Chain A
Amino acid sequence: TMLPLLLLLLLPAAHGTVEHVGYTPFLTRSPVLEGLTTASTFVLEQPRCVFEKYGNADIWLVVALEKTATAFNNSVGPGTPGSAFQNFPDSAPAYMTLNATLANYPCPKPAGDITVLRVGSETSCTEDVTRPTCNGPLSGPGPYVVKFLALEGSEPVAETDWSKPIILRTAKSPNSISTTNGGHGAGMIALTTILSILFAILLAGLVAML
C-alpha cells in the first residue's frame, strides 16, 4: 500500500513543477509608439527582471489566440509541429518564437533604453516549414494572448501569466471614404450672388443706353 502512494507522490515531481512567475506581458507603454499594433504585428515590452532565477533557461514567447490559449501544453517543445508558426492557428493552438536567454534581458533596464519585442517582424519565413520558430506576421486581428515560457533543456521551468487580449487593427476599404463635400461655403454663395447682381445691373444699363 505504501508503494502506490509513493508512486503518486513521485509522479508530479517527475514532470517537474513549472513556477508561475507573477508577471503579465504587456504592450510597450513608453515611449508611445505609432506602430504599437498594426494589422499584423504588435510590440511587447521585454520581460526584464522577471526570470532572474533561471540563468540557464531559454525564454520563449508563446503566442495564442484568446480562445485557443487553454489548449496549449507547456511540454510541447519549440520547433515541433504542435508549436510551429506555420501551423498556427489551424493545427497548432499556439506557436513559440523569439527565443532568448537571460543575457538578452539584463536587469535592471537602463533608463532611456527602448526594450521591445516586435511580434510579426520576420516576413521571409512565413511559409518556410524548416523555420517553425519564425516570428512571422499574424494573419487575423485576434484577439491574441501571449506568455513567456522558460525551458531548461526541454523541461518547462517557469512561465508568466497570459497577457490581456491584444486586438490588432483592421483596415477599412477606401471606398468607405465619402468625398462629397457638405455643401458650398458661404463665401462662394456671396460672391456668386453679388457678381450676378452687378452684371445684371450693367446689362440693364447697356439696354437703357441703346
Chain B
Amino acid sequence: MAKSDDCMRILQGLLVFGNVVIGMCGIALTAECIYFVSDPHGVYPLLEATENNDIYAAAWIGIFVGFALFALAILGIIGIIKSDRTLLMVYIILMLITFAFEMASCITAATHRDFLTPNLFLKQMLERYQKSEPINSNDKWKTEGVTKTWDKIMVQNHCCGVLGPSDWQEYTSAFRLTHSDADFPWPRKCCVIDAQGLPINLDGCKLGVPGYYNSDGCYDTISGPVNTHAWGVAWFGFAILCWTFCVLLGTMFYWSGIEY
C-alpha cells in the first residue's frame, strides 16, 4: 500500500541517521576489540593455558563484525537515499548475517567470562608454574608462558599467588616438587625486590615478615582486565545489536513501502 510521502521522508531521515550511528559504532567496536586482542595487561598466556581463551575468539569476531557494520551502514545509506529495492534487500540479508555473528560473539564473551573463577587460575598456577618436566613441546610452551606471566604479574603488581602466599602452603604444586618448603615457602618473586632484581631481605621474605614479601593475591589484577574485556565485548555488542534491530525493522518497513 502506498504510504504518504511525508511519512516516507521522515522514515528515510531516521534510517539514514540510524545507519550513521551503526557505522560509527562499528568502528568503535573494531577499535575496542583490537585493543583487547593486543592484550596490554599480558594475561593471554594464562587464559591460553587454561584452554579457555574463547574470550579472545569473541574479540576477533568483534573486529570483523565492526568492520562489516561500517561497510553495510554505508551500503544502507546509499540504498535508502536511492530507494533501491535490490540494494536494500542485499543490505537486510547481509545485516542479518552480521547480526548473527555479533550475537555469537556477545554470548561467547559473556559465557566464558563466567568460567574464569579464582579456582581455575589457582589450579593452573599450581600445576604449571615452574613445572620442570613438561610432557611434550606444547606442554613446555604453555608452562613457559604461565611461568613468565606469573613472574611478571607478581613483580609488577606486588602480589603473590592467586589468593595470597598461603596458596603455596595450602596446596602441593609443581613448584614444590623442585623447591623445598624450607628454602622456598613461596616463590622468590613474591619477595619485595630491589632494583637489581634480588629480594631486599631473603630471611625476612622466607619468614613472612610484613614489608619483605607481597601479602596480597593477584586475582584482582588478573580478573580486572579480563572482566573489562569480556563485558566490553559482550555488552557493547549487545547495545549495538539492539540499535541495529530497530534500524533493520525500520528498513524492512521502508522497503515494503517503496513502490516498484
Is the pair B110, A31 in contact by a Cβ cutoff of 8 Å?
A: no
B28 within 8 A of A: no
Is the pair A172, B172 in contact by a Cβ cutoff of 8 Å?
A: yes
Question: Main SS of the interface on chain B?
Answer: helix
Q: Which 6 A-B pairs have the closest CB atoms?
A: A34-B208, A35-B208, A137-B182, A188-B110, A174-B126, A39-B181
CB pairs A–B below 8 angstroms (14 shown):
A32-B210, A33-B207, A34-B213, A34-B215, A35-B207, A36-B208, A39-B181, A121-B206, A122-B182, A123-B182, A171-B172, A173-B171, A188-B107, A191-B235
Is the pair A137, B181 in contact by a Cβ cutoff of 8 Å?
A: yes
B103 within 8 A of A: yes
Is the pair B248, A202 in contact by a Cβ cutoff of 8 Å?
A: yes
Per-residue A-contact encoding for B92-122, CB less than 8 Å = 1, 0 else = 1100100110010011001101110101101
Per-residue A-contact encoding for B198-222, CB less than 8 Å = 1, 0 else = 0000010011111001010000000
Q: How many residues of B contact A (CB 8 A)?
A: 52
A178 within 8 A of B: yes
Is the pair B181, A195 in contact by a Cβ cutoff of 8 Å?
A: no
List the A side residues contacting B115 at CB < 8 Å.
181
Most A Cβ at <10 Å: residue of B99, B126, B169: B169
Is the pair A198, B242 in contact by a Cβ cutoff of 8 Å?
A: yes
Per-residue B-contact encoding for A170-195, CB less than 8 Å = 1, 0 else = 01111011110100110110011011
A12 within 8 A of B: no
List the B side residues contacting A188 at CB < 8 Å.
107, 110-111, 113-114, 234
Closest Cβ of chain A to B249, distance in Å, is 6
Closest Cβ of chain B to A136, distance in Å, is 8
Closest Cβ of chain A to B233, distance in Å, is 11
Per-residue A-contact encoding for B216-260, CB less than 8 Å = 1, 0 else = 000000000000000000110010011001001100100110000
Is the pair A174, B123 in contact by a Cβ cutoff of 8 Å?
A: yes
Residue of B whose beta carbon sits closest to that of A178:
B119
A31 to B245 CA separation, bound complex (whole angstroms)? 62
Closest Cβ of chain A to B168, distance in Å, is 9
A163 within 8 A of B: no
Question: Main SS of the interface on chain A?
Answer: loop
B196 within 8 A of A: no
Known pairs A123-B180, A195-B238; A174 contacts B207 (CB<8 A)? no
B127 within 8 A of A: yes
Tell me the B residues contacting A by CB distance below 8 Å: 92-93, 96, 99-100, 103, 106-107, 110-111, 113-115, 117, 119-120, 122-123, 126-127, 165-166, 169-173, 176, 180-183, 185, 203, 206-210, 213, 215, 234-235, 238, 241-242, 245, 248-249, 252, 255-256
List the B side residues contacting A184 at CB < 8 Å.
111, 114
Is the pair A198, B241 in contact by a Cβ cutoff of 8 Å?
A: yes
A194 to B110 CA separation, bound complex (whole angstroms)? 13
Known pairs A169-B169, A206-B96; A191 contacts B206 (CB<8 A)? no
Closest Cβ of chain B to A173, distance in Å, is 6
List the A side residues contacting B122 at CB < 8 Å.
174, 177
A192 to B237 CA separation, bound complex (whole angstroms)? 12
List the A side residues contacting B176 at CB < 8 Å.
171
Residue in B99, B119, B210 whose CB lies within 8 Å of A177: B119
